[in-house]
């Protein structure tokens, strides 16, 4: 699991990605 910052709905929010 990696914590990356991406743009969601035009907002910058941290989300966990399962790679």
Per residue in 1-19, pLDDT tens? 677 787 777 888 888 777 6
Query: What pLDDT is recorded for position 9?
Result: 77
First to last CA, the chain: 6
Query: What pLDDT is recorded for position 14?
Result: 82
Query: What pLDDT is recorded for position 1?
Result: 65
pTM for this structure?
0.07
Query: What pLDDT is recorded for position 17?
Result: 72
The 3-state DSSP composition of the chain as helix, strand, coil percent (nearest 5) reads: 0, 75, 25
Q: Which residues contact 19 (CB under 8 A, 6 or more apart)?
A: 1, 2
Query: What pLDDT is recorded for position 8?
Result: 74
């Amino acid at each position: 699991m990696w914590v990356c910052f991406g743009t969601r709905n035009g907002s910058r929010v941290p989300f966990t990605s399962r790679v």
